């Protein structure tokens, strides 16, 4: 059984027991989370596709920790102008552990 969910404007394919990194959620560690934005649920041979979300489906998850992604470097260079910019960025992320997929 697997599902496709939407969290933070992005879509993730998940199964029970998966640990995923999503955009930062303002939740403390070890808190339970109920996700109702389920786009697709596949159980055995049955496929439920939402319009846009599957009615009665939800995902139980637990916040493991708040982390940061890898450092990304942005570099701009203007030729013949003696100008350049170098900036670094680390995206703030939240680790979620999927504990249960519920569907009706």
pLDDT digit string (tens) for 27-70?
999 999 999 999 999 998 899 999 999 999 999 999 999 999 99
- At residue 96, the pLDDT reads 97
% of the chain at pLDDT higher than 70: 100
Q: Is residue 104 very low, low, confident or very high in pLDDT (cuts 50, 70, 90)?
A: confident
- Mean pLDDT of the chain, nearest integer: 95
Could you tell me the end-to-end alpha-carbon distance of the chain, in angstroms, rounded to an integer? Answer: 13
- At residue 80, the pLDDT reads 96
- Would you say 61 and 24 are in contact if contact means Cβ atoms under 8 Å apart? no
- Would you say 20 and 89 are in contact if contact means Cβ atoms under 8 Å apart? no
Q: Given a cut of 80, is residue 86 above it in pLDDT? A: yes
- At residue 15, the pLDDT reads 96
Measured CA to CA, the distance from residue 23 to residue 67 in angstroms comes to 10
- CA distances in angstroms from 72 to 54, 83, 88, 102, listed in the order given: 36, 20, 6, 37
Coil vs helix vs strand at 52: coil
Which of 41, 36, 39 has the alpha carbon at shortest distance from 53?
39
């Amino acid at each position: 059984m697997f599902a496709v969910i939407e969290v933070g404007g992005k879509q993730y394919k998940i199964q029970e027991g998966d640990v995923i990194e999503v955009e930062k959620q303002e939740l403390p560690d070890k808190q339970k989370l109920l996700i109702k934005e389920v786009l697709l649920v596949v159980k055995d041979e049955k496929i439920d596709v939402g319009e846009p979300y599957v009615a009665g489906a939800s995902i139980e998850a637990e916040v493991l920790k708040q982390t940061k992604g890898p450092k990304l470097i942005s570099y701009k260079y203007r030729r013949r102008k003696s100008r350049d910019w170098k900036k670094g960025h680390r995206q703030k992320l939240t680790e979620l552990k999927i504990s249960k997929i519920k569907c009706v």
